[in-house]
Amino acid sequence: MTSPSPHFNSPSPRRVPVVVVGAGPAGLTVGNILRAAGVDCLVLEAESREFIERRPRAGVIEEWAVRGLAQRGLGGPLLERAERHSECEFRFDGQGYRFRYTELTGLHHWVYPQPLLVTDLVREYADVRGGEIRFGVRDVRLHDLDSDRPAVSYTDPDSGERHLVRCDFVAGCDGARGASRAALPPRARISRHDYGIGWLALLAEAPPSCDRVLFGMHPDGFAGHMPRGPELTRYYLQCPPGDDPDAWSHDRVWSALQRRLGAADRPPLTEGRLLEKRVLDMHNYVVEPMVFGRLFLAGDAAHLVAPIAAKGMNLALNDAFLLGDALVGQLTKDDAAGLDGYSRECLRRVWDYEEFSEWLSEIYHGISHGDSYRAGTTLARLRRLFTSPTASAAFAEQYLGAAGAF
Ligand code: RFL
């Protein structure tokens, strides 16, 4: 919950137009847009710079999001180094079925690991655009959000002193477990969906086993293969929620992956050391509205979407484009239209992606549910993707985030 601002010994707290809480893709993009327009802001990040530049997570960026970054001068290294994908492959019934989405839409998926994007965005914000950022801050709290002079307080990691910063707007970009979510008032509506399944998320020090994303639908459970660069591959294995990652030995992981992703006429997977092994309990939530007084939520702070359809970072970027542009409109031209429509505009894409993730979850997990009726309807859905041009076009549009006029 938001709290009234505390009294500090200093008679006049600092003041900046915008405090951005969180230096993930959402917060750093907002900060960069503000700095490009000459608007001062302060970014507060709980972790160190080294940590956020290495934290492995997403890898797939949709073409509209790449374009949005490039339009704001944030696409340089990405455009040079990202791989462009034009197809994915479904494996079921012991066969591989290639799905060529670029042929259907003219659009690509861009594969660029999230730590690289975060590294680019921090460098551009702090080192090129001269933006102010404090790493390692502790005990961040938001105050007076319903007033026109909100504030953020935090503890400096070096001195241990508490600081209070007054601002016009707070951008709450601190993810699923940050201070912004803790500050939500009772009027916030939080819609949740629990899939009741887990995914063992793995990062393997191994070259991708083929140049496209693979989805394995197997009676034992789903498995996924996502290229993350020449020497790195992300894999997923469906498992019970809350499962113990240590119960998955190296040998058990690779034999499950080989089995669930195996297909006739396809070589076995290239195995390697497992660098990361964690269980994700698959769930989603949406906070509505995304604005509370002077607090504007963006990214995972406002909505979580399980990595089923690789949508979370894309949604975070969409919010950040809209919020950054809207704050610039308000603070440089006194134009309130962007901020007024912010929540409504973001939530259209959010709900569209939430729905698609749920639809895709049934495709991934329906066969292993243990219910032969559900397995039958799932296989029918899958086959339809390869026999009906209308079904394949609809899937391609949603997979690439190109459906609907956002
Ligand atoms: P982030 O990236 O979580 O950044 C929030 C930042 O806030 C900091 N923080 C605080 N700072 C100050 N004070 C506090 N109290 C704070 N509490 C937290 C954190 O340290 C952090 O630096 O949120 P943001 O910017 O909204 O970005 C969201 C994305 O990171 C997330 O949606 C994606 O990673 C989801 N996701 C994927 N999305 C895609 O679009 N494509 C993918 O291929 C994809 N793969 C994935 C994923 C997420 C995964 N995990 C770990 C859940 C794969 C995985 C395994």
> Averaged over 123-130, what is the pLDDT?
97
Angle, vertex CA 313, rays to CA 120 and CA 68, nearest 5: 65
400 CB within 6 A, ligand 1: no
Nearest CA to ligand 1 atom 41: 310
The distance from CA 88 to its chain's CA centroid, rounded to whole angstroms, is 20
300 CB within 6 A, ligand 1: yes
| 26 and 317 Cβ atoms separated by less than 8 Å | yes
41, two tokens: 């802001």
Helix (H), strand (E) at residue 192: strand 189-205
Question: What per-residue confidence (pLDDT) applies to 290?
Answer: 98
Question: What per-residue confidence (pLDDT) applies to 46?
Answer: 98
Q: How confident is the model at residue 2 (pLDDT cuts 50, 70, 90)?
A: low
Its pTM surpasses 0.75: yes
pLDDT digits (tens, 9 = 90+) for 160-172: 999 999 999 999 9
Nearest CA to ligand 1 atom 32: 312
313 CB within 6 A, ligand 1: yes
> Averaged over 294-315, what is the pLDDT?
96
For ligand 1, the distance from its centroid to the CA atom of residue 219, given in whole angstroms, is 31
Q: In this model, does residue 250 exceed pLDDT 60?
A: yes
Question: What per-residue confidence (pLDDT) applies to 56?
Answer: 86
Question: What per-residue confidence (pLDDT) applies to 309?
Answer: 93
> Averaged over 25-49, what is the pLDDT?
98
73: left (phi over 0), alpha (psi -120 to 50) or beta: left
311 CB within 6 A, ligand 1: yes
174 CB within 6 A, ligand 1: yes
> Averaged over 332-361, what is the pLDDT?
97
Q: How confident is the model at residue 13 (pLDDT cuts 50, 70, 90)?
A: confident
Closest atom of ligand 1 to CA, residue 315: 40
Which of 225, 300, 323, 356 has most ligand 1 atoms within 8 Å of CB, for mutation?
300
Q: Which domains does the chain have, with CATH numbers?
A: 14-79+113-191+284-354 (3.50.50.60), 85-110+195-283+378-399 (3.30.9.10)
Which of 60, 88, 313 has most ligand 1 atoms within 8 Å of CB, for mutation?
313
For ligand 1, the distance from its centroid to the CA atom of residue 173, given in whole angstroms, is 9
Nearest CA to ligand 1 atom 35: 312
- How far apart are the C-alpha atoms of 164 and 132, rounded to whole Å? 15
pLDDT digits (tens, 9 = 90+) for 172-227: 999 999 999 999 999 999 999 999 999 999 999 999 999 999 999 999 999 999 99
- How far apart are the C-alpha atoms of 111 and 119, rounded to whole Å? 15
Percentage, residues of the chain above pLDDT 70: 96
Closest CA to 302 of 190, 155, 163, 138: 190
